[in-house]
Amino acid sequence: MVPDEENSARQSNVDSLNSLVALQTEQLQQSARNLERCYDIVLDSLGNALALKHLATEQHSKRVAAYTIGIARALGLPRDQIAVIARGAFLHDIGKIGVDDSILRKPSALTPDETVSMREHCFLGYAMVKKVPFLAEVAEIIYSHHEWYNGTGYPRGLKGEGITLGARLVAVANALDSIMSDLPYHPAQSYGAAGEEIRRWAGRQFDPVVVKTLLSMPDKNWNDLRIGIEAQTASNPPRNGLL
């Protein structure tokens, strides 16, 4: 075979190999996307299961997820990272499935023993989700969303950047929604009041960078998100028998 023919044959083999690699890569990527979609369906089903047990918690979880996504985008986080954090935000209270109904539905403040039982939801949620492949980061967010930036939170007493970023974001979004909601121990407050309360706890309970980002965003964003989530929940109630 003459040199030109050898080079042409060699290039043809290289082109065929490249085409095969590209095809297999696309097939693997499509499989990964399909698998990720299946996991998201499972997560959505878990959220609906929580709604069947306690609708207010499920509505709260959707609002916290929306707030968390807003803060994460303002921080300039990559899209893939935001997707992971959003899953953790949506499922942050999933462990409440394992908390006694009498505690979840109690219309007054919890006793010390009931508070201990309620706090177990962090570990219960972590134990549920960590069994799902590829959700280790989500499980860690669930486990850590009640840790405090100064190390005095629960359940492990983690501190500062020892708390995963997703959990630090969820902690702020969780507080924002809780303060703006009617709860047994306080009536709903405005966004302005919620922001001032969160500002006071920056550096103690909350990551100061996350708090600064939250407070830099227009007030209207949070009210619009809340109204949108409530309207969506009202038009799509949980289905009986799911799971």
43 close to 51: Cβ distance less than 8 angstroms:
no
Which residues 6+ apart lie within 8 Å of 54 measured at CB? 96, 101, 104, 105
State how far the alpha carbon of 70 is from the alpha carbons of 53, 119, 128, 163, in Å: 28, 27, 27, 20
Residue 35 has pLDDT above 90, yes or no: no
Dump pLDDT digits (tens) for 188-237. 888 889 999 999 999 999 999 999 999 998 877 677 776 676 666 565 55
Cα 108 to chain center, whole Å? Answer: 27
Please state, as a whole number, how many other Cβ atoms lie within 10 Å of the Cβ of residue 239. 11
* Alpha-carbon gap, residue 177 to 212, rounded angstroms: 17
Instruction: Kindly report the pTM of this predicted structure.
Output: 0.77
Residue 15 has pLDDT above 70, yes or no: no
CATH entry, 3-235, from 1.10.3210.10, 3.40.50.1240, 3.20.20.100, 3.40.630.30:
1.10.3210.10
* Alpha-carbon gap, residue 63 to 69, rounded angstroms: 10
Dump pLDDT digits (tens) for 128-185. 888 877 789 999 999 999 999 999 999 999 999 999 999 999 999 999 999 988 877 7
Q: How confident is the model at residue 46, as a pLDDT?
A: 63
Q: How confident is the model at residue 31, as a pLDDT?
A: 46
* Alpha-carbon gap, residue 122 to 18, rounded angstroms: 48
Residue 45 has pLDDT above 80, yes or no: no
Which residues 6+ apart lie within 8 Å of 202 measured at CB? 208, 211, 212
Q: How confident is the model at residue 186, as a pLDDT?
A: 78
Residue indicated by tokens 């919890």: 110
Residue 33 has pLDDT above 60, yes or no: no
Structure tokens at 184: 């047994």
Q: Name the packing angle between helices 208-215 and 55-74 (round to 10°).
A: 90
50 close to 104: Cβ distance less than 8 angstroms:
no
**Domain spans in the chain, listed from the N-terminal domain onward:** 3-235
User: Nearest-CA neighbor of 101 among 41, 55, 42, 163?
Assistant: 55
7 or 179, greater pLDDT: 179
Dump pLDDT digits (tens) for 227-237. 676 666 565 55
Residue 111's pLDDT band, with cuts at 50, 70 and 90, is very high
